[in-house]
A and B are shown apart, each in its own frame.
Chain A
Amino acid sequence: MAGTVSAQVQTDAIDRFFEAYQDDEDFTMVYVSPKMFGMFAKVAGDELDTELQNLVKDLKGLKILRTDKNSSEIYKSALKKLPTNEYELLMTARDDGQNVKILTKTKGDDVIEELLLLVGGADEFILVSFVGNINLNDLAKVASSLDIDGVKHLEKLGQD
């Protein structure tokens, strides 16, 4: 029970961050409610293969925040304001003048309960918050059907 309470407090800090920019016209924000995910089967029809379905069936929430104004400052501000110490750093990269950080809360080895994707560079800042169980293996499988080129590199790495 105590676990649930603290999870809510943590999500509140993130919610507050999103809320701060809600009315700001320089920011784009998208919120997908929990019940939406259950309806994908209906709207996607044939396109929704089992792998993608598996991936999204446990998703409970998706929030996206984006801006291309003062993006590197907002990125730094986000790193300060978000409760990053409550997450594990899954990955960090800098490439092409863009910083990427992926923060996760995990349950067991493969299952992620919450994932924050932070992209910050001079041209844009993106924050995506996924809530719900995400399985990275499933994501890798699905990535190819989402037509992302780079997944071949992942597979090559595994072969070494």
Chain B
Amino acid sequence: MNTNINQLLEKYWNTETSLQEEAELRAYFSSDDVADEHKQYNALFEHFTSQRLERTNLDVEALLGNLNNMDDLIEKYLNVETTLEEEKIIRSYFNGNDVEAKHAQYLPLFDYYKETSELTSDLDLEVLFSGEGNLDQLIEKYWNAETTLEEEKTLAQYFAGSEVSKEHAEIAPVFAYYQTQRSATSNIDVESLLNAQIESEGHSVSDNTEAPQSKSAKVINLRQVAAAVAAMFVLGFAAVTVMNTTSSSDTQYRGKYVQLDEEAEAQEAYEITKQALALLSKKINKGSNTVVTSVAKADKASIFK
């Protein structure tokens, strides 16, 4: 039994496990028979258990009923740690009439989300009731990179739900990408365009300047790769070439373990250090930018009250 688990774990580290195998690992770790050598991984699989539950059982009412959770949820939100489902819960709470006095201060922050939730709720009902034929068409559209943002959200919700059919289960990981996205709205699109602009201008510090990389271009390329591999092996080669050319600044080190230790390597070490510092600096600035724009939004809300 133990060697089996070890094999599964090995597969897991290599991200080769199927959903079925991951379920097995999870079951093992939630049982009482975890071997000593495996106990260190307990926390890791606990994490995935709760993730699945969040995705498949969005029992908004049950969770809403427990208001103590609201303080925790808000705390998480302020730490930018909430999942999409949690944010939905917070949104529903703030839309309702039972907002506690102590939470009233956050109202402006969540007002922003009010509009967007109304826009998407109708769409969800349509998809859920329209049956699987429509889904196959949507998936086909997706492989051809023809889906709209709304259609992709629909697909994401389908794959996040508990009713994914067997033929679709295999491609579910492709849509897992969308789970971690916040609800896409027109406001955020503008921001991301601006950021893509900033990124392409201040991108690389070394002498090898890479082509500017916009987020939407990368998503489209990923789909082309998936479609090619699924369809024809011959095109698989083309897909690999596309992936390599769109990778980011560390192409020369890709997939390698580089140890810079010798005097002759000092130049390289210097370059990579500058890059690392540049990345750090850029991320810190992104953090300040995000704060500035969130505060600005909150201010706007109170002006119109």
A: residues with CB less than 8 A from B are 20, 22-33, 35-37, 39-40, 42-44, 52, 55-56, 59, 62, 64, 66, 68-70, 72-73, 76-77, 80-81, 91-97, 99-100, 102, 115, 117, 119, 121-124, 126, 128, 130, 139-140, 142-143, 146-151, 153-154, 157
Contact = CB atoms under 8 A, between A and B. Distances in A.
7 contacts: A28-B256, A43-B266, A70-B15, A80-B47, A92-B287, A150-B288, A153-B289
Interface residue SS majority, chain A: mixed
Contacts, number: 186
Interface string B168-191: 000000001100111000000001
A78 to B, nearest CB: 11
Given A26-B255, A40-B273, A122-B180, A153 B285 contact: yes
A40 B289 CA distance: 32
Contact of A99 (B47, B80, B261): B80
Given A121-B180, A139-B277, A142-B277, A150 B267 contact: no
Contacts of A99: 80, 180
B177 A80 contact: no
B283 interface: yes
Given A95-B195, A126-B279, A43 B79 contact: no
A123 B217 CA distance: 12
Nearest to B254: A28
Nearest to B263: A39
A10 B281 CA distance: 25
A32 B260 contact: yes
Interface residue SS majority, chain B: helix
Interface residues of B, number: 61
B273 A56 contact: yes
B161 interface: no
Contact of B182 (A43, A94, A122): A94
